[in-house]
């Protein structure tokens, strides 16, 4: 009851105390007038039942949190036969994000647009970097690689940079280009890291199972360190191609014995933030090329970044983000939005727009378009080609355009233009 009361006060929402799967409770909460029901209790079965009752009560869309790997095989059935709009598995989504990080070790995080033809990569500007100390327009002219700095975070403040913006060491930046061009850029900057071939995972929970499964499918060697002997046995049966070691992963001597210094990447996935952080700091101190840290308290992020841990995953935050993207997709059904990502604690949105044929702004050079402040057209995808635009480029019908902005909830490309 206190949790409901506190949430109602903090978020200015209506609170109802009761069983969410009960018809009477849902009617008290006015489910029949609701567009979306989200069930995220600790019970998969209760979440599914909440959604089924909600559908019968007239709820238009339902989202259930379902965590058991057994149910992952029934996602299509739950969509098609039970009518659930979305099934979200926090551990599986976290594992997918970790796999993306391991596939792109040169950056802290990567998101993709236009069927993976373009990407936005998060990196930190290093001391003496070729990117630092000069206006961005000068940097781009000196480096013969097609890329754009789409957003910058400096000392907690977010910037959408123009050509005269000067980067500094320590800036967190978001680079837009094609995957091939960004790899060239990282090599030029001396920050390129080879894809991981040998990965050590510390902790043996559900996320570990999902991550290891993806890594093994990609031909990557996986070693799992888990202190619970029963869980080790289960993982050894489920993942026969992984090496599963029953030992204490928080003990540095054990990690040395298991070859941590020979690993391309270490992922800390124990159930305790403090343990994950300490092990990650140790892995960083012995120069493991890629270290990924799971945290449950997202408030730790800025502290961890300040000590060099910049690849983090928060399952709760990631799940909330997946649900938010789905909710936005409902409002965008009739709009031009194809893909949406949020960065820097939701301060920045990167939105992929589809340009229809019946528009008045095609064929006009970008420098002549009345684009609002704090908006950047970071790339154009045309006929499967990624264009990093300058003011001389123009938009054409059927283009996909990635727009980076601090303005929230854009649903139409025309919204980035000033009204004449």
| Widest distance between CA atoms in the chain | 69
pLDDT confidence band for 353 (50 / 70 / 90):
confident
pLDDT confidence band for 235 (50 / 70 / 90):
very high
Q: Which two tokens stand for residue 409?
A: 């909830």
What letter does residue 15 receive in the DSSP assignment?
Answer: -
Q: Residue 187 has what pLDDT?
A: 93
What is the CATH number that goes with domain 2-88? 3.40.50.720
Averaged pLDDT for residues 358-374: 90
pLDDT confidence band for 254 (50 / 70 / 90):
very high
pLDDT tens-place string over residues 375-399? 999 999 999 899 999 889 999 999 9
Fold for 107-189, please state it: Alpha-Beta Plaits (3.30.70)
Q: What is the layout of strands, in order, in the sheet containing 337-343?
A: 337-343, 348-354, 400-405, 375-382, 385-387
Q: Residue 176 has what pLDDT?
A: 93
Handedness of CA 149, 152, 158, 163 (dihedral sign): negative
Note the CATH architecture for domain 198-288: 3-Layer(aba) Sandwich (3.40)
Mean pLDDT, the chain, rounded, equals: 90
Averaged pLDDT for residues 151-163: 91
Asked if the model's pLDDT at residue 203 lies above 80, the reply is: yes
59-69 exposure pattern, b = at least 16 Cβ within 10 A, e = fewer: bebbbbbbbee
Beta strands in 165-210 (DSSP E): 172-177, 198-202
Q: Residue 69 has what pLDDT?
A: 83
DSSP-derived 3-state class of residue 135: strand
Q: Residue 47 has what pLDDT?
A: 96
Of the candidates 201, 211, 209, 199, the residue with the CA atom closest to the CA atom of residue 289: 199
Q: Residue 328 has what pLDDT?
A: 74
Length of the chain, in residues: 420
pLDDT confidence band for 346 (50 / 70 / 90):
confident
Fold for 329-416, please state it: Alpha-Beta Plaits (3.30.70)
pLDDT tens-place string over residues 208-219? 999 999 999 999
Which residues are within 8 A (CB) of 289 and not within 5 positions of it... i.e. 6 or more apart?
A: 105, 193, 194, 196, 264, 265
Q: Residue 335 has what pLDDT?
A: 58
How far, in Å, CA of 418 to CA of 133, rounded? 32
First and final CA of the chain: distance in angstroms? 53
Q: Residue 133 has what pLDDT?
A: 93
Beta strands 198-202 and 265-268, pairing class: parallel
Most confident of 153-167, 223-237, 341-355: 223-237
pLDDT confidence band for 420 (50 / 70 / 90):
low
| CATH topology agreement for domains 2-88 and 329-416 | no
Checking phi first, is residue 392 left (phi over 0); if not, alpha (psi -120 to 50) or beta?
alpha
Of the candidates 43, 52, 42, the residue with the CA atom closest to the CA atom of residue 21: 52
CA distance to 58, 66, 70, 261, per residue, from 77 (Å): 20, 13, 13, 45
Percent of the chain with pLDDT over 90: 64
pLDDT tens-place string over residues 88-134? 999 999 999 999 999 999 999 888 888 888 999 999 999 889 999 99
How far, in Å, CA of 167 to CA of 149, rounded? 10
Most confident of 151-165, 258-272, 302-316: 258-272
Predicted model pTM: 0.86
Of the candidates 75, 79, 25, the residue with the CA atom closest to the CA atom of residue 54: 25
Residue 419: burial class (beta carbons within 10 Å; 0-12, 13-18, 19+) = exposed
Asked if the model's pLDDT at residue 331 lies above 70, the reply is: no
pLDDT confidence band for 297 (50 / 70 / 90):
confident
Domain extents in the chain: 2-88, 107-189, 198-288, 329-416
Asked if the model's pLDDT at residue 333 lies above 60, the reply is: no
């Amino acid at each position: 009851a206190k949790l409901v009361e506190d949430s109602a006060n903090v978020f200015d929402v209506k609170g109802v105390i009761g069983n969410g799967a009960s018809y009477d409770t849902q009617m008290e909460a006015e489910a029949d007038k609701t567009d979306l029901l989200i069930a995220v209790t600790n019970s998969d079965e209760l979440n599914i039942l909440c959604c089924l009752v909600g559908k019968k009560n007239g709820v238009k869309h339902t989202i259930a949190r379902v965590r058991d790997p057994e149910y992952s095989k029934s996602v299509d059935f739950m969509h098609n036969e039970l009518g659930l709009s979305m099934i979200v598995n926090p551990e599986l989504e976290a594992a997918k994000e970790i796999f993306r990080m391991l596939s792109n070790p040169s950056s802290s995080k990567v998101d993709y647009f236009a069927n993976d033809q373009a990407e936005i990569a998060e990196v930190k500007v290093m001391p003496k970097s070729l990117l630092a100390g000069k206006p961005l327009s000068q940097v781009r002219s000196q480096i013969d690689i097609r890329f754009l700095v789409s957003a910058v975070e400096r000392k907690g403040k977010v910037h959408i940079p123009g050509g005269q913006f000067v980067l500094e060491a320590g800036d967190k930046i978001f680079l837009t280009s094609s995957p091939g061009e960004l790899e060239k850029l990282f090599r030029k900057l001396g920050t390129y890291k080879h894809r991981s071939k040998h990965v050590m995972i510390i902790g043996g929970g559900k996320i570990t199972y999902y991550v290891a499964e993806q890594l093994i499918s990609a031909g990557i060697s996986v070693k799992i360190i888990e202190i619970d002997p029963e869980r080790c046995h289960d993982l050894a049966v489920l993942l026969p191609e992984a090496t599963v070691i029953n030992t204490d992963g928080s003990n540095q001597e054990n990690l040395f014995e298991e070859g941590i210094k020979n690993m391309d990447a270490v992922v800390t996935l124990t159930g305790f933030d403090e343990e994950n952080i300490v092990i990650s700091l140790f892995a960083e101190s012995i120069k493991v090329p890629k270290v990924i840290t799971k945290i449950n308290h997202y408030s730790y992020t800025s502290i961890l970044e300040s000590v060099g841990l910049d690849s983090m995953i928060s399952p709760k935050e990631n799940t909330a983000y997946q649900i938010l993207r789905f909710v936005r997709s409902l409002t965008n059904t009739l709009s031009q939005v194809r893909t949406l990502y949020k960065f820097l604690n939701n301060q920045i949105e990167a939105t992929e727009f589809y340009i229809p044929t019946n528009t008045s702004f095609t064929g006009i050079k970008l420098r002549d378009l009345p684009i609002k402040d704090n908006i950047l057209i970071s790339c154009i995808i045309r006929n499967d080609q990624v264009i990093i635009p300058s003011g001389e480029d123009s938009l054409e019908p059927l283009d996909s355009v990635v727009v980076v902005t601090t303005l929230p909830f854009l649903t139409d490309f025309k919204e980035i233009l000033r009204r004449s």
